[in-house]
Amino acid sequence: MKPYLLQMLKELALLGAIENRIEASSMQLAERINASQQTASRYLLELDKNGFINREMGIKKQLIHITEKGSDSLHEEYLSYRHIFSLPRFIHFKGKIVSGMKEGTYYTSQQGYVTQFKKKLGFIPYPGTLNLEIDLVEKNKLRFLKQEEGIQISAFETENRSFGGVKCFNACINKHNISLIFPLRGHYSNILEFIAPNFLRDRLDLTDGDLVEVVVTIEKQMSCGASDEK
């Protein structure tokens, strides 16, 4: 289907022309597609001629209804976009191990986080985070996770300061269960932070610069196959 016809068909659908016969003028539709009235009239004529819409002409306006053929065309387009943006069950991130700013130890040791991690993730994390630096190609995969709720860790306050909420996703590295963590507010960077029940650098003999692959899932439960007992 020609792109300009699909655009017009979409605008008609947004006006309710799939469920009902709508009253619309060429001028009104021209404004919606940012075109001239003559162009809008030509598009409608072409849609009608090809069986995508039915029209009943009036004095000033026309009654328009999208046919089954037109509805099917829109649905095919929807499925195409759904395929592009749908979240895969597993997302693989490849990157290299890097050292952080040592802030992870401070935050992951806060009791307000620790209590929730134990309840919602099933483990008390080893103080600190395992940091994975990813390139732009890998970072683009984060868009799949932005739309997902994940496992929510609520914000809390202490006598001295407040701590923001965190979003977690279950993950695996070399058959060990870990969790990817993001702040609920703020931008996603090219450094992914993971928490685990043990010191993974020792357990997996990791040093800065090592290339690794981590598998992240949106599933609430994930078994990686290895025991995470210390």
Backbone angles phi, psi at 85, to 5 degrees: -100, -5
Domains of the chain in sequence order: 3-85 (1.10.10.10), 90-217 (2.40.30.30)
Residue 28 has pLDDT above 60, yes or no: yes
Q: CA 169 to CA 93: how far, in whole Å?
A: 13
User: Which of 180, 103, 101 shows the shortest CA–CA distance to 146?
Assistant: 180
Confidence band, pLDDT 50/70/90 cuts, at residue 230: very low
Mean pLDDT of 98-109: 88
What's residue 226's pLDDT? 58
Q: CA 113 to CA 78: how far, in whole Å?
A: 40
Q: CA 212 to CA 50: how far, in whole Å?
A: 54
Confidence band, pLDDT 50/70/90 cuts, at residue 55: very high
Residue 33: both structure tokens together: 């597609």
Q: Please state whether the predicted TM-score (pTM) of the whole model is above 0.75.
A: no
Which amino acid is it at 119?
A: K
Chain center to CA of 117: 23
Task: For residue range 120-130, list pLDDT tens digits in order.
Answer: 999 999 999 99
Residue 6 has pLDDT above 90, yes or no: yes
